[in-house]
Structure 1
Amino acid sequence: MHSLEEFGESALGELASRMGLSFVRADAEAVEMRMPTEGNRQGLMLLHGGANGVLLEHAGSVLAMFNAPAGRVPVGTELSVSQLRSVTEGCVTAKATVVHRGRSSMCVGVEIRDDSGELTAVGRLSLVFVRR
Protein backbone atom coordinates (compact mmCIF):
# COMPACT_ATOMS: atom_id res chain seq x y z
CA MET A 1 0.00 0.00 0.00
CA HIS A 2 1.39 3.40 -1.03
CA SER A 3 1.42 6.49 1.19
CA LEU A 4 1.69 10.21 0.40
CA GLU A 5 5.10 10.32 2.08
CA GLU A 6 6.34 7.68 -0.35
CA PHE A 7 5.61 9.99 -3.29
CA GLY A 8 7.51 12.89 -1.71
CA GLU A 9 7.42 16.27 -3.46
CA SER A 10 5.50 14.89 -6.47
CA ALA A 11 2.43 14.37 -4.26
CA LEU A 12 1.84 18.12 -4.10
CA GLY A 13 4.19 19.89 -6.48
CA GLU A 14 4.86 23.57 -7.16
CA LEU A 15 1.60 24.67 -8.79
CA ALA A 16 -0.65 22.94 -6.25
CA SER A 17 1.40 24.43 -3.41
CA ARG A 18 1.20 27.91 -4.94
CA MET A 19 -2.59 27.59 -5.24
CA GLY A 20 -3.02 26.43 -1.65
CA LEU A 21 -4.17 22.86 -2.34
CA SER A 22 -4.08 20.45 0.60
CA PHE A 23 -4.91 16.80 1.14
CA VAL A 24 -8.00 15.70 3.05
CA ARG A 25 -7.70 12.00 2.19
CA ALA A 26 -5.45 10.06 -0.15
CA ASP A 27 -5.39 6.33 -0.82
CA ALA A 28 -5.97 3.90 -3.70
CA GLU A 29 -9.77 4.23 -3.42
CA ALA A 30 -10.15 8.02 -3.41
CA VAL A 31 -8.23 11.27 -3.17
CA GLU A 32 -9.83 14.34 -1.63
CA MET A 33 -8.17 17.74 -1.86
CA ARG A 34 -9.20 21.24 -0.73
CA MET A 35 -8.47 24.55 -2.40
CA PRO A 36 -9.20 28.06 -1.13
CA THR A 37 -11.21 30.39 -3.32
CA GLU A 38 -9.12 33.34 -2.17
CA GLY A 39 -6.11 33.73 -4.43
CA ASN A 40 -7.71 31.58 -7.15
CA ARG A 41 -10.42 33.95 -8.40
CA GLN A 42 -10.76 35.62 -11.77
CA GLY A 43 -11.55 39.32 -12.37
CA LEU A 44 -15.24 39.03 -11.41
CA MET A 45 -14.14 37.52 -8.07
CA LEU A 46 -15.49 34.07 -8.97
CA LEU A 47 -13.37 30.95 -8.53
CA HIS A 48 -11.45 30.62 -11.80
CA GLY A 49 -12.52 27.66 -13.95
CA GLY A 50 -8.88 26.94 -14.65
CA ALA A 51 -8.29 26.61 -10.91
CA ASN A 52 -10.99 23.92 -10.86
CA GLY A 53 -9.10 22.24 -13.70
CA VAL A 54 -5.86 22.24 -11.71
CA LEU A 55 -7.62 20.87 -8.62
CA LEU A 56 -9.37 18.16 -10.63
CA GLU A 57 -6.25 17.09 -12.51
CA HIS A 58 -4.10 17.07 -9.41
CA ALA A 59 -6.51 14.97 -7.33
CA GLY A 60 -6.93 12.55 -10.25
CA SER A 61 -3.19 12.33 -10.87
CA VAL A 62 -2.45 11.51 -7.23
CA LEU A 63 -5.15 8.83 -7.31
CA ALA A 64 -3.50 7.39 -10.40
CA MET A 65 -0.11 7.41 -8.60
CA PHE A 66 -1.67 5.15 -5.96
CA ASN A 67 -2.95 2.81 -8.68
CA ALA A 68 0.03 2.77 -11.05
CA PRO A 69 1.51 -0.63 -11.90
CA ALA A 70 5.02 -1.29 -10.58
CA GLY A 71 7.69 0.59 -12.53
CA ARG A 72 5.18 2.94 -14.20
CA VAL A 73 3.95 6.48 -13.60
CA PRO A 74 0.69 8.12 -14.69
CA VAL A 75 0.61 10.85 -17.33
CA GLY A 76 -2.59 12.75 -18.05
CA THR A 77 -3.86 12.60 -21.62
CA GLU A 78 -7.28 14.23 -21.47
CA LEU A 79 -9.05 16.56 -19.03
CA SER A 80 -12.71 17.56 -19.09
CA VAL A 81 -14.27 20.00 -16.61
CA SER A 82 -17.89 21.14 -16.46
CA GLN A 83 -18.41 24.28 -14.37
CA LEU A 84 -21.84 23.96 -12.73
CA ARG A 85 -22.08 26.66 -10.07
CA SER A 86 -20.00 29.73 -9.19
CA VAL A 87 -18.07 30.02 -5.94
CA THR A 88 -16.91 33.36 -4.49
CA GLU A 89 -15.59 32.50 -1.02
CA GLY A 90 -14.49 29.70 1.27
CA CYS A 91 -12.97 26.51 -0.07
CA VAL A 92 -13.87 23.82 -2.56
CA THR A 93 -13.14 20.13 -2.12
CA ALA A 94 -12.49 17.69 -4.95
CA LYS A 95 -13.08 13.97 -4.58
CA ALA A 96 -11.44 11.78 -7.22
CA THR A 97 -12.52 8.15 -7.67
CA VAL A 98 -11.58 5.43 -10.13
CA VAL A 99 -13.97 5.04 -13.06
CA HIS A 100 -11.82 2.43 -14.82
CA ARG A 101 -8.33 1.04 -14.32
CA GLY A 102 -6.76 -1.00 -17.09
CA ARG A 103 -3.26 -2.39 -17.49
CA SER A 104 -1.94 0.66 -19.27
CA SER A 105 -4.53 3.39 -18.68
CA MET A 106 -6.98 4.78 -16.17
CA CYS A 107 -10.05 7.00 -16.11
CA VAL A 108 -10.84 9.07 -13.02
CA GLY A 109 -14.06 10.89 -12.16
CA VAL A 110 -13.96 13.98 -9.96
CA GLU A 111 -16.66 15.97 -8.15
CA ILE A 112 -15.91 19.42 -6.73
CA ARG A 113 -18.12 20.77 -3.94
CA ASP A 114 -18.21 24.03 -1.98
CA ASP A 115 -18.22 24.32 1.82
CA SER A 116 -22.00 23.80 1.94
CA GLY A 117 -21.68 20.52 0.00
CA GLU A 118 -23.16 21.91 -3.22
CA LEU A 119 -21.76 20.41 -6.41
CA THR A 120 -19.90 23.18 -8.26
CA ALA A 121 -17.96 21.29 -10.95
CA VAL A 122 -17.50 17.76 -12.29
CA GLY A 123 -14.92 16.29 -14.56
CA ARG A 124 -12.97 13.39 -15.90
CA LEU A 125 -9.27 12.76 -16.28
CA SER A 126 -7.79 10.09 -18.57
CA LEU A 127 -4.25 8.90 -17.93
CA VAL A 128 -1.78 6.40 -19.33
CA PHE A 129 0.86 4.55 -17.35
CA VAL A 130 4.35 5.00 -18.84
CA ARG A 131 7.67 3.48 -17.83
CA ARG A 132 9.41 5.41 -15.06
Structure 2
Amino acid sequence: MPSRSAGLDWAAERGLGALADRMGIELLELSADHSVATMPVEGNTQPVGLLHGGAYVVLGESLGSMSANFHAGRGHLALGVDINATHTGSATSGIVTGVCTAIHLGRTLTVHEIVVTDESGRRCSTVRITNLIKPLL
Protein backbone atom coordinates (compact mmCIF):
# COMPACT_ATOMS: atom_id res chain seq x y z
CA MET A 1 0.00 0.00 0.00
CA PRO A 2 1.45 3.42 -0.94
CA SER A 3 2.50 5.75 1.86
CA ARG A 4 0.60 8.90 2.83
CA SER A 5 3.51 11.00 1.58
CA ALA A 6 3.19 9.24 -1.79
CA GLY A 7 -0.43 10.33 -1.73
CA LEU A 8 0.54 13.96 -1.14
CA ASP A 9 3.03 13.79 -4.02
CA TRP A 10 0.31 12.34 -6.28
CA ALA A 11 -2.16 15.05 -5.18
CA ALA A 12 0.40 17.82 -5.76
CA GLU A 13 0.80 16.66 -9.37
CA ARG A 14 -2.95 16.34 -9.91
CA GLY A 15 -4.16 19.33 -7.87
CA LEU A 16 -7.34 19.60 -5.82
CA GLY A 17 -9.26 21.60 -8.39
CA ALA A 18 -10.31 25.21 -8.77
CA LEU A 19 -13.18 25.06 -6.28
CA ALA A 20 -11.05 23.54 -3.51
CA ASP A 21 -8.37 26.14 -4.21
CA ARG A 22 -10.90 28.99 -4.07
CA MET A 23 -12.26 27.70 -0.74
CA GLY A 24 -8.78 27.46 0.79
CA ILE A 25 -8.72 23.70 1.28
CA GLU A 26 -5.30 22.44 2.31
CA LEU A 27 -4.53 18.73 2.02
CA LEU A 28 -2.43 17.44 4.94
CA GLU A 29 -2.55 13.65 4.43
CA LEU A 30 -3.73 11.45 1.57
CA SER A 31 -4.09 7.72 1.21
CA ALA A 32 -6.92 5.51 0.01
CA ASP A 33 -7.97 4.69 3.57
CA HIS A 34 -7.20 7.86 5.57
CA SER A 35 -6.94 11.49 4.48
CA VAL A 36 -6.98 14.87 6.26
CA ALA A 37 -7.56 18.43 5.05
CA THR A 38 -8.37 21.82 6.53
CA MET A 39 -10.51 24.71 5.31
CA PRO A 40 -10.93 28.24 6.67
CA VAL A 41 -14.35 29.36 7.86
CA GLU A 42 -13.72 32.94 6.68
CA GLY A 43 -14.84 33.37 3.09
CA ASN A 44 -16.99 30.24 3.19
CA THR A 45 -19.90 31.44 5.32
CA GLN A 46 -23.62 32.01 4.90
CA PRO A 47 -24.99 35.55 5.41
CA VAL A 48 -25.43 34.95 9.18
CA GLY A 49 -21.74 34.10 9.69
CA LEU A 50 -21.95 30.30 9.97
CA LEU A 51 -19.85 28.03 7.75
CA HIS A 52 -22.10 27.23 4.79
CA GLY A 53 -23.45 23.68 4.75
CA GLY A 54 -22.33 23.34 1.16
CA ALA A 55 -18.78 24.16 2.23
CA TYR A 56 -18.77 21.11 4.52
CA VAL A 57 -19.90 19.03 1.54
CA VAL A 58 -17.19 20.48 -0.73
CA LEU A 59 -14.54 19.60 1.87
CA GLY A 60 -15.99 16.10 2.26
CA GLU A 61 -16.30 15.46 -1.46
CA SER A 62 -12.80 16.77 -2.11
CA LEU A 63 -11.33 14.39 0.47
CA GLY A 64 -13.46 11.38 -0.46
CA SER A 65 -12.97 11.78 -4.19
CA MET A 66 -9.21 12.27 -3.93
CA SER A 67 -8.92 9.20 -1.69
CA ALA A 68 -11.07 7.15 -4.10
CA ASN A 69 -9.05 8.26 -7.12
CA PHE A 70 -5.80 7.43 -5.34
CA HIS A 71 -7.25 3.96 -4.63
CA ALA A 72 -8.45 3.56 -8.24
CA GLY A 73 -4.93 3.85 -9.59
CA ARG A 74 -3.55 4.60 -13.04
CA GLY A 75 -5.88 4.10 -15.94
CA HIS A 76 -9.01 4.43 -13.78
CA LEU A 77 -11.23 7.26 -12.62
CA ALA A 78 -13.39 7.45 -9.48
CA LEU A 79 -16.61 9.43 -9.94
CA GLY A 80 -18.97 10.42 -7.14
CA VAL A 81 -22.38 8.77 -7.47
CA ASP A 82 -23.86 9.56 -4.05
CA ILE A 83 -23.12 12.04 -1.28
CA ASN A 84 -24.96 13.02 1.87
CA ALA A 85 -24.21 15.18 4.87
CA THR A 86 -25.60 15.61 8.34
CA HIS A 87 -24.71 18.93 9.97
CA THR A 88 -24.68 18.78 13.77
CA GLY A 89 -22.79 21.97 14.60
CA SER A 90 -21.84 25.31 13.10
CA ALA A 91 -18.32 26.70 12.89
CA THR A 92 -18.16 30.51 12.97
CA SER A 93 -14.42 31.21 12.88
CA GLY A 94 -11.01 29.64 12.50
CA ILE A 95 -10.52 26.49 10.50
CA VAL A 96 -12.35 23.21 10.22
CA THR A 97 -10.63 19.86 9.76
CA GLY A 98 -11.97 16.97 7.70
CA VAL A 99 -10.82 13.45 8.48
CA CYS A 100 -11.71 10.95 5.76
CA THR A 101 -11.88 7.25 6.56
CA ALA A 102 -12.57 4.45 4.10
CA ILE A 103 -15.60 2.32 4.83
CA HIS A 104 -15.26 0.19 1.67
CA LEU A 105 -12.46 0.03 -0.89
CA GLY A 106 -13.62 -2.24 -3.67
CA ARG A 107 -12.73 -2.85 -7.28
CA THR A 108 -15.67 -0.81 -8.63
CA LEU A 109 -16.99 1.15 -5.62
CA THR A 110 -15.53 3.03 -2.69
CA VAL A 111 -17.34 4.50 0.31
CA HIS A 112 -15.71 7.09 2.57
CA GLU A 113 -16.92 8.86 5.70
CA ILE A 114 -15.63 12.35 6.40
CA VAL A 115 -15.96 13.84 9.88
CA VAL A 116 -15.55 17.63 9.95
CA THR A 117 -14.68 19.26 13.28
CA ASP A 118 -14.06 22.82 14.42
CA GLU A 119 -10.91 23.97 16.23
CA SER A 120 -12.27 22.79 19.59
CA GLY A 121 -12.76 19.28 18.21
CA ARG A 122 -16.55 19.55 18.10
CA ARG A 123 -18.13 17.58 15.26
CA CYS A 124 -19.90 19.95 12.87
CA SER A 125 -20.71 17.67 9.94
CA THR A 126 -20.55 14.04 8.86
CA VAL A 127 -20.33 13.45 5.11
CA ARG A 128 -20.52 10.10 3.33
CA ILE A 129 -19.54 9.72 -0.33
CA THR A 130 -19.75 6.74 -2.67
CA ASN A 131 -17.54 6.72 -5.77
CA LEU A 132 -17.79 4.50 -8.84
CA ILE A 133 -14.46 3.34 -10.27
CA LYS A 134 -14.30 2.94 -14.03
CA PRO A 135 -11.55 2.59 -16.62
CA LEU A 136 -10.48 5.73 -18.46
CA LEU A 137 -11.56 5.60 -22.05
State if a TM-score over 0.5 links the two structures.
yes
Measured in 1, the distance between the counterparts of 2:110 and 2:32 equals: 13
Aligned to 1:91: 95
SS in 2 for 1:79: strand
Contact between 1:27 and 1:66, CA under 8 Å: does it hold in 2? Answer: yes
Measured in 2, the distance between the counterparts of 1:27 and 1:12 equals: 14
- Where does structure 2 lack aligned partners over 5 or more consecutive residues? none
Percent sequence identity over matched residues? 34
Contact between 1:11 and 1:62, CA under 8 Å: does it hold in 2? Answer: no
Counterpart check, 1:31 vs 2:42: no
- The CA deviation at 1:102 is 1.6
Contact between 2:8 and 2:29, CA under 8 Å: does it hold in 1? Answer: no
Measured in 2, the distance between the counterparts of 1:78 and 1:9 equals: 26
Matches within 5 A, 1:77-88: 77-88=81-92
Aligned to 1:11: 15
Counterpart check, 1:105 vs 2:109: yes
SS in 2 for 1:3: helix
SS in 1 for 2:103: strand
- The CA deviation at 1:5 is 2.6
Measured in 1, the distance between the counterparts of 2:70 and 2:120 equals: 29
Measured in 2, the distance between the counterparts of 1:24 and 1:5 equals: 11
Please provide the CA RMSD for this pair.
1.4
Which residue of the other structure, out of 52, 68, 73, is the alignment partner of 1:64?
A: 68
SS in 2 for 1:18: helix
Which residue of the other structure, out of 17, 42, 47, is the alignment partner of 1:43?
A: 47
- The CA deviation at 1:130 is 1.4
Alignment: residue pair count: 132
Contact between 2:51 and 2:92, CA under 8 Å: does it hold in 1? Answer: yes
Contact between 1:113 and 1:120, CA under 8 Å: does it hold in 2? Answer: yes
- Where does structure 1 lack aligned partners over 5 or more consecutive residues? none
Measured in 2, the distance between the counterparts of 1:86 and 1:18 equals: 21
Counterpart check, 1:114 vs 2:115: no
Query: What's the TM-score once normalised by structure 1's chain length?
Result: 0.93
List 4+ stretches of structure 1 deviating above 6 A: none
